[in-house]
Amino acid sequence: MQQNTIIRLGSVGLSTVTDLGRMGLYLLQMIQGCFRRPFRFSEFMRQLNFIGVGSLVVIFFTAASTGMVLGLQGYYSLHKFGAEGMLGSAVSLTLIMELGPVLTALMVAGRAGSAMCAELGIMRISEQVDALDCMAIDPFRYFISPKLLAALISVPLLTALFDVVGIAGGYVAGVHLMGVNPGSYFDGMQSSVTNHDIILGTVKSFVFAVLIVWICTGRGFFVHQIRGAGFGARSVSKVTTQAVVLSSISVLIFDYLLTAILI
């Protein structure tokens, strides 16, 4: 009984270490795949459209509501100290450094990450990935690395859009609804937001893009080797859920780490 527990524990440990190693190598191959020729421009454009253009609406609405809530909440808190003039800087700093990159990444993970994971998972269980391997076509160059490149371009741009729409949302709530002076809203923003803050937000969005594509495509790619995932359609659904949860948690953890390192 005790021996069985130890064996099982060892087995879990081994499979976890194997999985981590596999994912590490996968990240390396994914990056290498970006530099292999011939570059698949059509696939890259398709992914850019899917990850970037396809996420515009969801990012717009998330950003607008987040900005407006920040405007209202910020006004409520600042009003207590008579510091409504600081609303612009509070909204913009929160959005640019934290909420913009994080919420954009979470939305992209939920929308595009889940789709990428399911697509790769289905390709794996229906032997399409093996078929590519057998034709000596590198699956990374062929359809995984273009996703990474597309995310590296889309996610920072979507983050920028999120910031702008969020700031506009904050303006609508703060200035139009609560009566903050429009001049002080923008003046506060201009005086408090530095290049460093914008760089921090941008670095975060690049890192989050890599995390999302890495975890979501990687989970789908290894759907057949993940311990306890089961088989067939059920394994794809299980792994897709796992991928979205894992990538979202990683985004939040890396958000803290990057803030701690770069601030």
Partner 1 sequence: MNGIGIEFKEVEKGFVRDDGSRQVILDQVNFSIPAGKTTVIAGGSGQGKSVTLKLILGLMQADSGKILVGGDDVTGLRGNKLKELRTRFGVLFQGAALFDSMTVFENVALPLRERTKKTEKDIKDQVLASLEQLELFGHENKFPAQLSGGMKKRAGLARALQLKPEIMLFDEPTTGLDPVMTQEIYQLFAQTQKQVGYTSIIVSHDIPKVFNLADQVIVLNDGMMDVFPSPEAIQWSDKSHIRKFVKTTMGEIYQSHLVE
Which residues of the shown chain bind partner 1 in the complex (CB under 8 A)?
Answer: 4, 7-8, 10-11, 14, 122-123, 126-128, 130-131, 133-138, 142, 227-228
CA distance 91 to 186: 10
230: left (phi over 0), alpha (psi -120 to 50) or beta: left
User: Could you tell me the smallest distance in angstroms from the CB atom of residue 7 to partner 1?
Assistant: 4
Which residues, 6 or more positions from 46, have their beta carbon under 8 angstroms from its beta carbon? 146
Which residues, 6 or more positions from 124, have their beta carbon under 8 angstroms from its beta carbon? 220, 221, 222, 223, 224
User: Could you tell me the smallest distance in angstroms from the CB atom of residue 57 to partner 1?
Assistant: 24
Q: Which is nearer to partner 1, 131 or 177 (CB)?
A: 131
Q: Which is nearer to partner 1, 29 or 184 (CB)?
A: 29
Structure tokens belonging to residue 61? 């609405």
User: Could you tell me the smallest distance in angstroms from the CB atom of residue 226 to partner 1?
Assistant: 12
CA distance 119 to 128: 11
User: Could you tell me the smallest distance in angstroms from the CB atom of residue 123 to partner 1?
Assistant: 8
Helix (H) or strand (E) run with residue 42 in it: helix 41-47
Q: Which is nearer to partner 1, 16 or 133 (CB)?
A: 133
Q: Which is nearer to partner 1, 196 or 227 (CB)?
A: 227
- Nearest CA among 113, 100, 8, 95 for reference residue 54: 113
User: Could you tell me the smallest distance in angstroms from the CB atom of residue 259 to partner 1?
Assistant: 39
Q: Which is nearer to partner 1, 99 or 123 (CB)?
A: 123
